[in-house]
Chains A and B, each alone.
Chain A
Amino acid sequence: GENVEQHPSTLSVQEGDSAVIKCTYSDSASNYFPWYKQELGKGPQLIIDIRSNVGEKKDQRIAVTLNKTAKHFSLHITETQPEDSAVYFCAAGTYKYIFGTGTRLKVLA
């Protein structure tokens, strides 16, 4: 079946450094790629998304890149802060998504 692979599963960075999370997807029909941040005890929160007609999108310290040919997309967080610590999920799909398995990001002060 269709799936989304996400790496790494855990990531520790020093405050101020950058963090990169990578995902690959299998369904060629996917045209929408959101990223969610989930804090403990809360629901996933949409932080940024990208559509298949765009290769890159940036919002302050967060950026996403998409390579449709290779079926890869990535989340980049620059100047990380302790409050960025959370679990991050990628997803791929159209009106419905398949989620990746999540990356636990820990930003060390």
Chain B
Amino acid sequence: DAGVIQSPRHEVTEMGQEVTLRCKPISGHNSLFWYRQTMMRGLELLIYFNNNVPIDDSGMPEDRFSAKMPNASFSTLKIQPSEPRDSAVYFCASSGSGGELEQYFGPGTRLTVT
């Protein structure tokens, strides 16, 4: 399997612009997680989907952030409008069904907002 795929790997944008991060989970996995990693706050869970349905979005920092999962093989995390404090590495992870708890991470998207 190719593992979790994320794009783009790097994104540089100006404050106020819309940013869309993309994720393809491992085939057959039915849970998907979006995380943000910063030096100050470490690894934070933003949102969790199960069977394409958002289950827990309590980690989404504010209304500027939104996430969708239109089908089992694709998810997006959108920031609109972006701010410099959104600069971080964003990771997507997926886990399987049947009670499997192991999460497998993608390579991440490094976002820089200037």
Contact = CB atoms under 8 A, between A and B. Distances in A.
**Ranked 4 nearest A-B pairs via Cβ:** A43-B105, A99-B43, A32-B101, A44-B105
B10 to A, nearest CB: 10
A99 B45 CA distance: 9
A45 B106 CA distance: 9
B107 A42 contact: yes
Given A43-B93, A97-B103, 17 more contacts: A34-B101, A43-B91, A43-B105, A43-B108, A44-B105, A45-B105, A46-B103, A46-B104, A46-B105, A49-B101, A89-B43, A95-B95, A96-B45, A98-B45, A99-B42, A100-B42, A101-B42
Interface residues of B, number: 20
B14 interface: no
Interface of A: 32, 34, 36, 42-46, 49, 51, 89, 94-102
Interface of B: 4, 31, 33, 42-43, 45, 48, 50, 56, 91, 93, 95, 101-108
